[in-house]
Amino acid sequence: MEGYGIHPMGLSIVQWLRELGRGVVDICYPGGCAACGVMQEPAGFLCEGCEQELQKIERAGGCYGCGMPLPAGSACPRCRGKGLYPFDQVLRLGVYGGPLRDLILRMKYHRQWTIAQSLARRLLRHGLVEMLLKDDVVIAPIPLYGWRQIGRGFNQAEVVAAELARQTGRPMVHPLARIRPTETQTRLHSKQQRAQNVRGAFALINPKIIDGRPVALVDDVMTTGATLREAGRTLREGNPGELSAIVLAVADPSNRGFTAI
Ligand SMILES: [Zn+2]
Ligand SMILES: [Zn+2]
């Protein structure tokens, strides 16, 4: 993720071009695997290899407090059981990599709603997500800054949140607004830089809608958690009930495959 020529989500120019190339493949060969693009017979969402790999990613243990990977039954060395303040829990599909990474990139850059639908469905198979979204909870996406959303025409957090809302019948609400543009977090490497970059980025524009109610804040990928924490802190001003974060994937902030604590 270091150096010049890195695009959002940590893509090098070569990877970026490859992603663009895949977009062409999508148009030409709609029967390809949504993650790796390989043609399959009969046509399905994922090829067998990607499906198995994704299931492995989903089955791997994670800390419910901070979302980081964790071998089953062990205590979390990252948050030491304290979780990610100000959240009561952080739920996710898995670690950012393999087919999960491919799907998130395709959803984001090729605006593929079918991928958001499928990933939301997979999130709902996660027992804790299913339980959380049965309650009186409201679902809130992390907002983008105005022109950024207009430029992209697509807020991937909102697409996933909308799918979770649609599949569970829970309301999607917009208690937050992004009140200033922020530099893309992927270009900032330290935790401090990322926290500084998003400080004061959100405003609570609709506190009534979350007053006393449990809130599930949705984003696509969590890296240092700086954006989620800043948005969470702003939401807390509105006196919500339990506050949870739901993300598709967690990425290693030091980009070392979660080997360093
Ligand atoms: Zn595949
Ligand atoms: Zn933890």
The DSSP line for 101-120 is: HHHHHHHHHH--HHHHHHHH
Pairwise CA distance, residues 107 & 121, whole Å: 15
Quote the number of domains for the chain. Answer: 1
Ligand nearest the Cα atom of residue 103? 1
39 CA distance to ligand 1 middle (Å): 8
- C-alpha 50 – ligand 1 centre gap (Å): 4
What is the domain range of residue 104? 8-250
Distance 180 CA to ligand 2 centre (A): 30
Give the ligand with the smallest distance to the CA of 33: 1
Residue with tokens 């800054």: 145
Q: How far does residue 69's CA lie from ligand 2's centre (Å)?
A: 8
Per-chain mean pLDDT for the chain = 85
- Whether residue 78 is contained in a domain is answered as yes
Q: What number of other Cβ atoms are within 10 A of residue 210's Cβ? A: 24
Q: How confident is the model at residue 150 (pLDDT cuts 50, 70, 90)?
A: low
Ligand 2 centre to CA of 78 (Å) is 5
Cα 227 → chain centroid: 11
Give the pTM: 0.85
Does residue 120 fall inside a structural domain? yes
* Residue 257 located in a structural domain: no
181 backbone φψ class: left, alpha, beta (φ>0; ψ -120 to 50): beta
- Report which bound ligand comes closest to the CA of 90: 2
Tell me which ligand sits closest to the C-alpha of residue 98.
Answer: 1
81 C-alpha to center of ligand 2: Å?
6
Q: Beta strand 202-204 with 176-178: parallel, antiparallel or unpaired?
A: antiparallel
* C-alpha 254 to ligand 2 mean position (Å): 16
34 alpha carbon to ligand 1 midpoint, in Å? 7
Paired strand residues for 203 = 177
Of the two residues 16 and 111, the one the predictor is more confident about is: 111
**Between 9 and 119, the higher pLDDT residue:** 119
Within-domain flag for 256: no
CATH code of residue 45 = 3.40.50.2020
CA 174 to chain centre: 17
Rounded to the nearest angstrom, the distance between the alpha carbon of 102 and the centre of ligand 1 is: 9
How many residues does this entry show for the chain? 261
Name beta bridge partners: 219: 247
Rounded to the nearest 10 degrees, the angle between the axes of helix 113-124 and helix 98-110 is 140
Q: Which two tokens stand for residue 172?
A: 């999607």
- Give the pLDDT confidence of 19-63 residue by residue, as tens digits: 555 544 444 346 789 999 998 877 789 999 999 999 999 999 899
Residue 191 has what pLDDT? 78
For residues 141 and 150, give the distance between their C-alpha atoms in angstroms, rounded to a whole number.
16
- CB contact at 8 A, 241 and 215: yes
259 lies in some domain: no
* 2 falls within a domain: no
Ligand nearest to the CA of 79: 2
Residue 3 lies in a domain: no
Question: Which whole number is the average pLDDT over 136-145?
Answer: 93
210 CA distance to ligand 2 middle (Å):
26
Alpha carbon 157 to its chain centroid, in Å, reads: 7
Give the pLDDT band (50/70/90) at residue 160.
Answer: very high
Q: How far is the CA of 65 from the centre of ligand 2 (A)?
A: 5
Distance 255 CA to ligand 2 centre (A): 18
DSSP collapsed to 3 states, 227-253: HHHHHHHHHHCCCCCCEEEEEEEECCC
Separation of 70 CA from ligand 2 center, angstroms? 8
195 C-alpha vs ligand 2 centroid, how far in Å?
Answer: 19
Whether residue 233 has pLDDT greater than 90: yes
Nearest Cα neighbor of 216 from 90, 85, 64, 66 is: 90
The ligand placed nearest to the CA atom of residue 258 is 2
- The reply to whether 221 falls in a domain is yes
